[in-house]
């Protein structure tokens, strides 16, 4: 049982590292915001439906004004100082427990977006979030 748990932890850690590498290699600002909005609303494949949780502030942080809040609240931390808003958002999507917003719980956002989304989907979703 311990070996299985260790293997699972290694797989999860590996996926997180891959997600981080993808966010560093992908040219995030060049996404299609219109397609990102469709992904956010869950109206296409892959089915993400971010709106289902982010519409309710007791479940997930509000999306309106997100780029400004990230810049003012999250990128001021020393650990995040070398990131752009786009990089922070991409990492938050692909590895949602990496940055848990204060007053919210870890483990709420699905951890498998790195497998469900293409790099273009990620670019598009981040481009849409940058318009809010």
Q: Which residue has the tokens 């089915």?
A: 47
Residue 16 has pLDDT above 80, yes or no: no
pTM beyond cutoff 0.95 = no
CA distance 22 to 122: 10
CA distance 41 to 83: 26
Q: Sign of the C-alpha dihedral, residues 56, 109, 51, 91?
A: positive
Percent of the chain with pLDDT over 70: 78
- pLDDT per residue as tens digits for the range 92-118: 999 999 889 889 999 999 999 999 999
- pLDDT per residue as tens digits for the range 40-97: 999 988 899 899 999 999 999 999 999 999 999 989 988 888 999 999 999 999 999 9
pLDDT confidence of residue 34: 96
């Amino acid at each position: 049982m311990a070996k299985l748990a260790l293997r699972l932890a290694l797989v999860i850690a590996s996926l997180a590292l891959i997600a981080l590498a993808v966010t560093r290699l992908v040219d995030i600002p060049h996404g299609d915001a219109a397609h990102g909005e469709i992904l956010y609303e869950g109206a296409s494949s892959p089915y993400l439906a971010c709106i289902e949780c982010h519409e309710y502030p007791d479940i997930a942080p509000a999306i309106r004004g997100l780029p400004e809040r990230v810049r003012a609240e999250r990128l001021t931390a020393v650990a995040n100082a070398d990131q752009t808003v786009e990089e922070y958002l991409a990492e938050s999507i692909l590895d949602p427990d990496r940055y848990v917003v204060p007053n919210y719980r870890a483990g709420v956002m699905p951890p498998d977006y790195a497998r469900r989304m293409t790099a273009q989907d990620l670019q598009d979703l981040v481009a849409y979030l940058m318009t809010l």
